Amino acid sequence: MRQQAVAPAASWLPWSVVDAYTATSRYLRRGMRQPDVIFGSILIPIIFVVLFGYVFGGSIKIPGGNYRSYLMPGLFAQAILFGSNSVAVGIATDMSEGVIDRFKTLPIGRSAIVIGRAVSALLLGIPAMVVMILCALAVGWRPTGGLGNAALAFGLYELFGFAAIWLGILVGLLAQSSQAADVIMGIPTFLLGFISNVFVDPANMPAWLRVFANWNPMSALVTAGRQLFGNSIGPPPSGVWSLDHPVVTTIGLAIVIVAIVAPFCVCRYSRTSR
Partner 1 sequence: MTSAAISVERLARSFGQTHALVDVSFEVRSGSVCALLGRNGAGKTTAVRILTTLLSADSGRAQVAGFDVFSQADKVRARIGVTGQTATMDELLTGHENLEIIGRFCHLGAATSRRRADELLREFDLVDAKDRLVKKYSGGMRRRLDLAASLIAEPEVLFLDEPTTGLDPISRREMWTALRGLVARGTTVLLTTQYLDEADQLADTIVVIDRGLVVAQGTPEQLKASIGRPHVVVTLPDLDAAALERVRGLLGDQAEIHGLSVRTPASNGLATLSAVVTQLERMGLPIYEVGLEHPSLDEVFSTVTGHSDEAGMTAPATGKDG
- Site residues (vs partner 1, CB under 8 A): 1-2, 4-6, 8-9, 11, 15, 18-19, 22, 26, 29-30, 33-34, 97-99, 101-108, 112, 272-274
**Nearest distance from C-beta of residue 176 to partner 1, angstroms:** 16
How far apart CA 100 and CA 102 sit, in angstroms, is: 5
Q: Which region holds residue 189: left if phi is over 0, alpha if psi is between -120 and 50, else beta?
A: alpha
**Nearest distance from C-beta of residue 39 to partner 1, angstroms:** 15
**Nearest distance from C-beta of residue 167 to partner 1, angstroms:** 25
Judged by CB, which is closer to partner 1: 11, or 204? 11
- DSSP, collapsed to helix, strand or coil, labels residue 101 as helix
**Nearest distance from C-beta of residue 97 to partner 1, angstroms:** 6
**Nearest distance from C-beta of residue 27 to partner 1, angstroms:** 10
Q: Which residues contact 59 (CB under 8 A, 6 or more apart)?
A: none
**Nearest distance from C-beta of residue 111 to partner 1, angstroms:** 13
Judged by CB, which is closer to partner 1: 97, or 126? 97
Q: How many helices (H) and strands (E) does the chain have?
A: 12, 0
Judged by CB, which is closer to partner 1: 108, or 114? 108
Q: Considering only CA atoms, which of 166, 162, 20 is closest in space to residue 88?
A: 166
Decide: 181 and 214 in contact? Cβ < 8 Å.
Answer: no
Judged by CB, which is closer to partner 1: 98, or 206? 98
Q: How many residues does the chain have?
A: 274
Q: Which amino acid is it at 229? A: F
Judged by CB, which is closer to partner 1: 22, or 149? 22
Q: Considering only CA atoms, which of 81, 75, 69, 82 is closest in space to residue 49?
A: 75
How far apart CA 81 and CA 48 sit, in angstroms, is: 13
How far apart CA 50 and CA 53 sit, in angstroms, is: 5
Judged by CB, which is closer to partner 1: 105, or 204? 105
